Structure 1
Amino acid sequence: MAFSLFSKNKPDFLSNEEKEQVVQAIRDAESRTSGEIRIYMESHCKYVNPVDRASEIFYNLKMDQTSERNGVLLYIAVKDHQLAIFGDEGIYNKTGKEYWHELVSHVLREFNQEHFAAGICQYVYEIGEGLHAYFPYDRATDHNELPDDIIFGK
């Protein structure tokens, strides 16, 4: 899915404080689920469809190798004003297409008001709730399979 979302007057997408808020949101969400949430940001999307780029990044980051196939990637091409959400088959098959469309609309609502960090944190919270519903955290077996940091491309 491709969406127009960013103001062209905003030179820096996230401040250092906002980056820390987003990483903390990921940690908080993942503390309740075996699922993995990643965020990848870059200036330009090298494909027409950002879902294609999100898919490429998802597999390059080996997010398909989580034990329950429940990784989810939020991809943002800042200067191209595009985003995509890509979920592995474990979570996608359990939630259905409508869930993903609703999730994108919530993120876009925040982005359109230039609440970028809030939009990302809202995404993390909502996807964390979805993951928790289908893949709750089990202290005995779960561990953090992927890093929680925001990945910045070119």
Structure 2
Amino acid sequence: MRLFPKKELLTEAEKQQLVQAIRSAERMTSGEIRVYVESHCKFVDPMDRAQQIFVQLSLEKTRFRNGVLLYFALKDKQYAIAGDKGIHEKVGKDFWKERTKNMLAHFANGQVVKGIEACITEIGEALCVHFPHEGDDINELPDDIVVGR
């Protein structure tokens, strides 16, 4: 038995705020956005870890290869954004760099959740441009925030 409960990485309210951002971003696109949060990214490069999780969450199996994963190891202050082939070919390397820059500006002000939310919104806008919602589109992946170890 623990004497002290484990402190949550994100509160339920913060998780719901991010889920709502994902749902809003995905409303007008066939693209999929997932958020994965864990405490530490030990002994692995954050992008390598993001690629592992990308496959674990089946983001590479979307119809148009337009899934995006936002990965965060909050206690280590590490992150990575992994976009699948379809979206990466449309937006290029500079797009991801700019999303990171904008997100980090929020982080520097202590606004981690707001930074993640803004990043989700910006990615959703790009997905809407390149992969607009079509009549037969379905939500291929869950919108929940995945919390790891």
TM interval, shorter chain, is: over 0.9
How large is the Cα RMSD of the aligned pairs?
A: 1.2
Structure 1 unaligned regions, length at least 5: 1-10
Matches within 5 A, 1:4-153: 13-138=9-134, 140-153=135-148
Cα deviation code 1:2-35 (max 9, x no counterpart): xxxxxxxxx7543221211110000000001000
Q: Percent identity?
A: 52
- Paired amino acid for 1:135: F
Give the number of equivalent residue pairs: 143
Moved over 6 A (4+): none
Structure 2 unaligned regions, length at least 5: 1-6
Structure 2 length-normalised TM = 0.92
Structure 1 length-normalised TM = 0.89
Structure 1 residues 75 and 141, CA gap change in structure 2 (3 angstroms): same
8 Å CA contact retained: 2:9, 2:39:
no
Cα deviation code 1:115-138 (max 9, x no counterpart): 111111101100000100100111
8 Å CA contact retained: 2:9, 2:38:
no
